[in-house]
Amino acid sequence: MGTRDLILVERPAQMTLQLPLAVAAQAADAAAARTTFERYRVRLADETRRRQDADLACFASYLADIGVSATDGNIYVTDPVAWQGITWGIVAAFVEWQLGQGYAVGSINVRLSTVKTYARLAAKAGALDGETYALIKTVAGFRHAEGRRVDAKRAQTRRGAKKAEAVHIGLDQAADLKAQPSARDALLMCLLLDHGLRVGEVAALVPGDFDLTRGTLTFYREKVDKTQTHRLTADTLRAARAYIHVYTEGSLFGVDRTIRSRVKHLGEAVGIVGLSPHDCRHYWATAAMASGTDIKSLQDAGGWSSPAMPLRYAESAEIANEGVKLS
């Protein structure tokens, strides 16, 4: 039997072996497509998942406003097929619709990012073709300076709780916020102002997270899936010793909403209107950089995944070239 004959004999057998593989691959692709959203969402932090749900509920409200029948925002986080028919024009109009509704530019940018994320997943699942998704990707939000100009030109510039800028906290105000007569309040404000903890991280703290002998706090940062240990500042350690010895189990500060309400109240007591835990995180990043902390150290301590984030949190110096050294 020659070489040519051998090839002719073997070819049908190869094709027979490949056919089941092709069928199995198609079945696997179909199954993966159905669970694309689920597999993405299971990896998210709870806070991120809740925020995306709210973003897409807003998207659903917009679609209902323009006459699209599906009004349940939940469908856009569970079913890739729901994205069929979504185009770049619809997404671009969503940005304009939010401006008309008076939403903060920062909130608009975040919602646009969420829509793009789920459009990408829908394209991966086969619900959107590649050209449609490529055009959706081109829809742009607003840079910081653009956002300020947009706000200056519209009558209603703010809807919802998100602020355009963080509330400024002065050094004396920070000291007053930490010098609370209540040990619980003192510890709360020290954790926010001296350690830059997120509100969800504070809400999850229990007495066992503190080692008062070593003067450390070990806690979980859900947003970046990382457990960290912080050495407590003198003020934080003093407040922790005063509070934790009388509070031995369960959450130290209650749920997020309770903490936000308390921080707002304590802020008003020292003359700061609308103070939030996130404002305290901005203060912490600004104070750390002003004291000479390098970006990498601040990124690690703050639990940020990118060095760009602490730069966004820190306020610009009053004297622009204060930190510039020429010799």
Confidence of residue 308 (pLDDT cuts 50, 70, 90): confident
pLDDT at 311 over 80: no
Confidence of residue 1 (pLDDT cuts 50, 70, 90): very low
pLDDT at 77 over 90: no
What are φ and ψ of residue 71, in 5° steps?
-110, -5
pLDDT at 4 over 60: no
How high is the pLDDT of residue 30? 55
* Beta-strand relationship, 226-231 and 216-221: antiparallel
All structural domains of the chain, each given as residue ranges with its CATH number in brackets, are 39-153 (no CATH), 171-313 (1.10.443.10)
How high is the pLDDT of residue 323? 55
- Tell me which range, 133-137, 162-166, 323-327, is most confidently predicted by mean pLDDT: 133-137
- Chain-wide mean pLDDT for the chain? 82
Q: Which tens digits make up the pLDDT trace of 16-68?
A: 445 565 555 555 555 566 688 888 888 887 878 888 898 998 898 899 888 87
Q: Pick the closest to residue 280 from 236, 317, 313 (CA basis).
A: 313
* Bridge partners of residue 230, in order along the sequence: 217
How high is the pLDDT of residue 155? 58
How high is the pLDDT of residue 294? 87
Q: Is residue 236 within 8 Å of residue 190, measured between CB atoms?
A: yes
pTM summary value = 0.57
Count CB atoms within 10 A of the CB of residue 20: 9
Q: Is residue 133 within 8 Å of residue 119, measured between CB atoms?
A: yes
* DSSP-assigned letter for residue 127: S
Query: Which positions ≥6 away from 61 have C-beta within 8 Å?
Result: 71, 73
How high is the pLDDT of residue 321? 46
Give the range among 76-90, 144-158, 187-201 with minimum mean pLDDT. Answer: 144-158
How high is the pLDDT of residue 119? 94
How high is the pLDDT of residue 261? 94
Query: Which positions ≥6 away from 99 have C-beta within 8 Å?
Result: 108, 150, 154
Q: Which tens digits make up the pLDDT trace of 105-130?
A: 888 889 999 999 999 999 988 889 99
How high is the pLDDT of residue 49? 86
Give the range among 171-175, 208-212, 288-292, 313-317 with minimum mean pLDDT. Answer: 313-317
pLDDT at 319 over 50: no
- Residue 65 to residue 95: CA distance in whole angstroms: 14
- Tell me which range, 67-71, 143-147, 264-268, is most confidently predicted by mean pLDDT: 264-268
What stretch of H or E contains 219? Answer: strand 216-221
What is the Cα gyration radius of the chain? 26
Confidence of residue 263 (pLDDT cuts 50, 70, 90): very high
> What is the sign of the dihedral through the CA atoms of 160, 162, 165 and 167?
positive
Q: Is residue 168 within 8 Å of residue 208, measured between CB atoms?
A: no
Q: Pick the closest to residue 303 from 225, 188, 211, 187 (CA basis).
A: 225
Q: Which tens digits make up the pLDDT trace of 141-178?
A: 888 777 777 766 665 545 554 555 678 899 999 999 99
The two structure tokens encoding residue 316: 């610009």
How high is the pLDDT of residue 131? 94
